[in-house]
Structures are given as structure tokens and as C-alpha cells.
A = this chain, B = another copy of it.
Amino acid sequence: MKSVLKLIDRIANRVNISLADLEFEARPIIYNMTKPNKFLKFYAFYGVTDHHPLYFHFSNSSLAGSYFFGKCRVDNSVLYKSDIRGDELKEKGDRFHFHGIDFMIEHDESIHIKDSYLNKTLVHSSSHDPEYPELFLIKNTAASPYSNIHGSPCRGVYMGHFSTADFTVIHDCILDRFAYVQSGTLSHKHIEPGRIWVKSGDDFDFSYNFPTEVIDKYISFEPGHKPEGIFMDFITEKRKAFQRIFDVIHIKPHENVPSGTAISRYSVIRGKCHFEDNVLVAQRAYLENAWLGKGANAQENCFIVKSRLEGYNVTAHGAKIIYTQLGKNVFVGFNSFLRGKFDTFVEGKLACPLVIGESSIVMPHTIIDLEEPVTIPPKHLVWGYITNKRDLKKHSIPLEKLADISDGISLGAMKFSGSGKLFVDTFKNRITKILEQNGAHFKDKKLKGHAQKGRNISYNIIQPYSKGPRKGLYPTMDISV
């Protein structure tokens, strides 16, 4: 274990140097993330398919339980149960657009994780750094469990629990727990817990801050201690179900799955689940008594429990949907927590469902945790913290109304400035693109996406040295076509 401990120390040093002006101390956080004996307990694995350029390089790293797909390079890093998906990286010859400038991608992009510690972190999409479009670099970065690094190159970043960096180039920043940023660039800032911030240059700026007591109730964390709260309780309860799928080489495929639908062999499917065509269920997704309509997707780390999704739904990474009915085209953003209740009596009736109408958009990091039945009408934007009908009024707006706004609006803790139309259009375009990428519209062998391309992945299992000074480290590997 000597080499692994030395490596962890090296990473802590580098993160500390990067975050010195924010007075960040990585050690009590990194040292408590994982018990060293866990580094031996879970194998790492990578996917091989002829649909994507294949290149993996691993050196001087510990990779326990992590999954790699697409082109990835990991040096001097500790990854634990992370999910590094490079299947949306740019390829040589692709076009890249930035502020009216259009240029060509010189060589296949790759994800490069260096001098970093990622714990149960998702790394996904492709670099949104116009200066380095061929390199999705994560360096001197420590990321806590259930954080998402989505299309966001990170240099010198601490990601708190359940935080998300989305399409943002981040340099020397702290994203505290459950914070969400999508702001183009971010430098030398501490984004406080539960801040939701979507900014696109001078076009628009959406901002919301969760009340501190709500954040603490759902996810609280003190360096040197374990994270606590409703999010952790919920995940801990379901975690055991994953053990079996990692213990066996071949899993019996789920029956009655339409030909355009893909259900990862590393997902958990329990109870009575139903899948229409062109559905994508990603690895580490958890489904229990779930009904997924045509073109719906369930992305990594999401949970869909006793819920019905009518079709063309996006359930983004880490979203949790419980006792909920979603109309067609409803989008549920990263790490959202939507929980109706069927197990409590409300006004004499055993029901407290959450119903979300067609084409509504649930902002990333939204918590809807009901104490009474709530129905969100179609074509609404919702955000923040909602437990009842009264909350809903202060945390939702019809998309049409929002699109009419040209200067600004405040509603509860939400502040919006800029063009509502650009905001709504940007969101809608993104949802359209996600559905396309996932293969929701696949027909007659055309419009293939992840659901269709992901049906023939071979999984390769790698393990660390189990004894000696290199215990816990993985051998150096180069894997290519």
C-alpha cells in the first residue's frame, strides 16, 4: 500500500497548491474518502466496441471499481467507483463552433485525468474548452461522491458531494456540495453549497440558492467525517442490490426488450419493469417497478422507482425519481430528487403522487419531496425545493412566459436576467440533442445512438497488485485498436 499512500499524498499536495487562495485543505477530505482496503475489493473495467476510437492508458494509478469507455488516459490518480465515459468525445475532422468561429478538430479528443482523486464521480461528454477542444483534462482535482464532471475540464478543483460542473471550464475553484454550475468559464471562486447557476455570456443568467437548512437536511458534510442526509440514506439503502451484477461475468439479459433498447448489464432491474423501444438504461442505473416509454433514458447513477415515464424522457446522471409520473418529453436534470409518496395517508387517502406534465423541464439539482400530492402542469420550468402546492408557485414558471422575458425576473430565491427566449431555446436544443445522442429516434437502422451502439460492448476487467509495495496500484497499460 506504500505506493498508493504516497500517491494520495502527492494528489493532496497538488490540489492544495491549486486551491491555496481559497484556503482549502484536501487532506481531511481525501484521506477520509475511502478506506485503503477498499482499493483491492472492486475491480475496474473498460468497454471495447467497434463504434468508438479505442485508446486507454493507465499508469501509476489506483482505479478500483471504475469504468472506462472511449479514449481515456489516467496518470498518477486515484479513481474509486468512478465512471469515465468518452463516447461523446470529439473525433478528428469534427467541427467546433465558438462565438461565430468555426474550426476543425485536429485529432481524436481524449479524456486525461492526472494528479487527481475522483470518488464515485461521473466524467462524461466532451471538453467545452475552446482553447483545447481535443483534450478533456482533469488535473489537480479532488471530487467527492456523486459529483458530475460533465463536459467540464477541471484544473485545481474541489467538487463537493452531489455537485455538478456542466459545460464549464473550471480553474482553481471549489464547487461545494450540491452546487451546480453551467457558466462557460469559472476561475478562483468558491461556489457555496446548493447554489444553482446557469449563465451564458451576456445572453442570460439564472441563479438560485437552496436554503442552508435544506441542503444540510439532504446532504451535510464535515471534512474528516462521513457525509450524511436524505441523499446518502436513500443511496445506502439501495446500494447492496448492485453487488450481484459485479460478481458474475455473464448476466442473463433482461427478457422482452425491443431491438432498439439497451439495458446495461451493469444496471439493476428489479420488480416489474417495462421497456418500450429505443430506451437506454446506462450502467449503475437502478430501476424498480419502472415503466419506460419509447425513447426514454435512465442515465448513470439514476434511480427510477415505482414510476412511469411516458416516453422521450431524459433522466440525467444521478437523478432520482420515486412514486412519480412523467409525461412525454419531460426532462429531469442532474442529481434531481423527485419523490412522491404512496405510503402515507393524506386526507384519508393512501396517495401522495407527483405528476409532471408533458415537456416540462426539471432544472438540475431540483428537490421535489412531497408532503401532499402535487401536479406540475405541462411546459413548465421547475427548480429549487418543493414539498407542496404552495412551494410550486414560487419554484415554477410556464416556459412560454419565461420565453417572453427580455430583461429579468425574480421569483422566491430565483433570479433571472437576460433573454428568456435564449434560455428556453438553449435548454430545448440540449434536450433534443441528448435524445438524438441516446438513440431515442432510432428507426430502420438510422439515427443510431448510445442505446443501439451500446448493445455490443465487451467488458474487460482489470485488477491491482494484491501484495507488495505496489498493492492497490494497477499495472501500466496501453490499449488501442
Interface residues in chain A, defined as those with a beta carbon under 8 Å from any beta carbon in chain B? 43, 45, 48-50, 54, 246-250, 456-471, 475-481
Contacts and interface: CB of A to CB of B under 8 A. Distances in A.
- One complex includes copies of this chain to the number of 2
Contact of A475 (B249, B461, B475, B481): B481
23 contacts: A43-B249, A48-B463, A48-B466, A48-B475, A49-B466, A49-B467, A50-B465, A50-B467, A50-B468, A50-B470, A54-B475, A247-B249, A248-B248, A248-B249, A456-B466, A458-B464, A459-B461, A460-B460, A461-B461, A461-B462, A475-B481, A476-B479, A477-B479
A460 B58 CA distance: 14
A113 B461 CA distance: 23
A334 to B, nearest CB: 31
Given A50-B471, A475-B481, A477-B478, 6 more contacts: A50-B470, A457-B466, A459-B463, A460-B460, A475-B479, A476-B481
Q: Which 4 residue pairs of A and B lie closest in terms of their CB atoms, listed nearest first?
A: A50-B468, A458-B463, A461-B461, A478-B478
A460 B461 contact: yes
Contacts of A246: 249
A144 B362 CA distance: 62
A456 B467 contact: yes
Contact of A476 (B50, B250, B480): B480
A464 B43 contact: no
A474 to B, nearest CB: 8
B476 A477 contact: no
Contacts of A476: 479-481
A465 B460 CA distance: 11
A341 B467 CA distance: 44
The CB with the most chain B CB atoms within 10 A, among A49, A246, A460, A465, is that of A460
Contacts of A458: 463-466
Nearest to A42: B249
A48 B44 CA distance: 14
A464 B458 CA distance: 6
Contacts of A480: 475-477
A325 B50 CA distance: 54
Contacts of A45: 461
A45 B462 CA distance: 9
Contacts of A48: 463-466, 475
Contacts of A247: 248-250
B50 A249 contact: no
Of the candidates A249, A250, A458, A461, the one having the most CB atoms from chain B within 10 angstroms of its own CB is: A458
Contacts of A469: 50
Nearest to A455: B467
Contacts of A470: 50, 481
A478 B461 CA distance: 15
Contacts of A461: 45, 249, 459-462
Nearest to A458: B463
Nearest to A470: B50
Contacts of A481: 470, 475-476
A475 B471 CA distance: 26
B460 A463 contact: yes
Contacts of A457: 466
Contacts of A475: 48, 54, 479-481
A457 B480 CA distance: 25
A121 B360 CA distance: 61
